[in-house]
Amino acid sequence: MEQPKNNLKVISEKKNVRMILPNMLTLIGVCIGLTSIRFSFNGQFDLAIIAIIFAALIDGLDGRIARLIKGTSKVGKELDSLTDMISFGVAPAFIMYFWTLSSLGRLGWLICLIYVICVALRLARFNINSNQEPSWRDNFFEGVPSPAGGILVLTPLVISMTNFNFVKIDNNIIVPIFFIVTSLLLISKFPTYSFKKIVIQRQTTIFLLFGIVLFFGFILIYPFIAISISVILYLLMLPISYFHYNKLKKQNADKPNLEDDDFEDIL
């Protein structure tokens, strides 16, 4: 009778070990998000932006690694939401407040609060409704995901650090617009690509790897230009994802599925 208990104990210990790596990555993401606030407080906005980008990369890796090594857990899920709240909610709001929104006084702080609340609402909605049955809708997020939202609100600051700012713009107008529009996209039901179930043919894998290496090399050499171009491409993909989603919705209209109000994505 002791042998089955010992086997269960060994299995449990192995699972606990597998959970360490993704949870450690998530906690590192929390530290990076908090560090970006420190950079912005000291006026080092370039380092603050780079810290947010690193946090976004870690956010994209921890969940995938957890699923790959079968180390998913409820604790990891809650830690992931906490990291997103800090790194893509609180941190970008502080960065932009220290950069320009503080000049608007109470209105600037109110704009930051609205954005952070929208991030919190989006994450809360995800935590409640994330246990849905697999379907074609898993290829889409419902609304803009929090990492993308965190980078979108930083766009005016990123562009100011490139040679793209040919026309002088009033940040007291542009920055609040970015905050409000991004906040609405976060809590909306606008379908956006999730890129979680991309199928790559074997013969094109080498080209994908080359493209990834080229992209990261571009980020290392021209980080803010690369981020600006990525944001522009992401914004251009929003209408494409909308029409693609509606096309798939019509194709699957005759299949039993969840109602739109019950649909939720996986961050």
Candidate from 66-70, 129-133, 203-207, 212-216 with smallest mean pLDDT: 129-133
Q: How confident is the model at residue 166 (pLDDT cuts 50, 70, 90)?
A: low
pLDDT for 197 equals 61
What is the C-alpha separation between 96 and 112, in angstroms, rounded? 8
Q: What are the structure tokens assigned to 197, written together? A: 């179930």
- What does the pLDDT average to over 245-263? 66
**Mean pLDDT of all residues in the chain?**
81
pLDDT for 263 equals 42
pLDDT for 40 equals 94
Candidate from 7-11, 22-26, 185-189 with smallest mean pLDDT: 7-11
pTM of the model: 0.82
Each residue's pLDDT tens digit, 204-235: 777 778 888 888 888 888 889 999 999 999 99
CB 153 within 8 A of CB 96: yes
pLDDT for 131 equals 60
- What does the pLDDT average to over 185-205? 77
CB 51 within 8 A of CB 32: yes
pLDDT for 209 equals 81
Domains, the chain = 2-129+136-252 (1.20.120.1760)
What is the C-alpha separation between 190 and 237, in angstroms, rounded? 12
For residue 128, pLDDT over 70 is answered with yes
pLDDT for 258 equals 46
Residue carrying the six token digits 């299949």:
255
Q: What angle do CA 69, 75, 80 make, to 5 degrees?
A: 80
For residue 175, pLDDT over 70 is answered with yes
What is the C-alpha separation between 247 and 191, in angstroms, rounded? 12
Q: What angle do CA 42, 48, 54 make, to 5 degrees?
A: 150
